[in-house]
Structure 1
Amino acid sequence: MRLRSIFTTVLGAALLAVSVSTPASAASGRFFYDYVTVEGYDATGFLTNPADDECINLPGVGQENPEPGHTPRNRTDTWATVFTGTNCEGDSFRLRPHTGGASQRLKVRSVVFG
């Protein structure tokens, strides 16, 4: 009888730990973008399983880099809205889930999913 109680307690604690450690809502997949580094090299940045409803400034193309990112490709399962400025400001463009993408002409510095 006591062994069953201990097992139930341990199982409950394990399930609680798993449910607390997983994000409440996140896009599944990757979001890609190309950019030129401050040193002048071509690079590809990406976000893996980004959080929903949270503005994300894209690494490598923030205010420290005068060149914005370009050619965004949304391979997540959620709509992505890209912005020309940091902090999800400026002009925006929506990219559909899984296959959404844009040409090199679309300049980006931040994105929000959802």
Structure 2
Amino acid sequence: MRLHSALAAVGGSLVLVLAVPASASAAMGQFRYSYQTADGYDAVGFINNPQSRTCIDLQRAGSDGTSAAYAPKNLTDSTATVFLEAGCRGDVFYSLRPGAGASERLLVRSVVFS
């Protein structure tokens, strides 16, 4: 009888483990970028622990008619692929390995993390 109860408990535990969805993965660290405010001042934007495999449009980076962000710095533990266009679209993109940064000449509007 004990063996039957133990097997039932193990089977029930296995069902619970399989039924609980896996937690979403995120890149650990911070992604930084510079942008120019509507008043013409330089500012820094950042994303903490960004979601992996999800396109992120950079705030204040071209979506409202302003210029693109620039000088991205990938201080996360994942590769970041930055795009000139919003929505991670277009043929103009660049990959930044973890810990890498780019010059002010690299313009970006969106990013996705591996």
Q: What TM-score does the superposition give when structure 2 sets the normalisation length?
A: 0.77
> Which residue in 1 is equivalent to 2:97?
96
By how many angstroms is 1:47 displaced?
0.3
Contact 1:38 1:65 in 2 (8 A): no
Would you say how many aligned residue pairs link Structure 1 and Structure 2? 96
Q: What TM-score does the superposition give when structure 1 sets the normalisation length?
A: 0.77
Q: Which amino acid aligns with 2:95?
A: R
Q: Can you give the 5+ residue segments of structure 2 that lack an aligned partner in the other structure?
A: 1-16
By how many angstroms is 1:23 displaced?
4.5
Which residues in structure 2 correspond to 1:1-114 (within 5 Å)?
Answer: 23-90=23-90, 91-97=92-98, 99-114=99-114
% same residue: 47
Q: Which amino acid aligns with 1:51?
A: Q
Q: Can you give the 5+ residue segments of structure 1 that lack an aligned partner in the other structure?
A: 1-15
> For 2:85 and 2:23, how far apart are their aligned partners in 1?
26
| 2:105 aligned counterpart, secondary structure | coil
Contact 2:27 2:76 in 1 (8 A): yes
Instruction: After the TM superposition, list the runs of 4 or more consecutive aligned residues in structure 1 that deviate by more than 6 angstroms.
Output: none
Give the aligned CA root-mean-square deviation in angstroms.
1.9
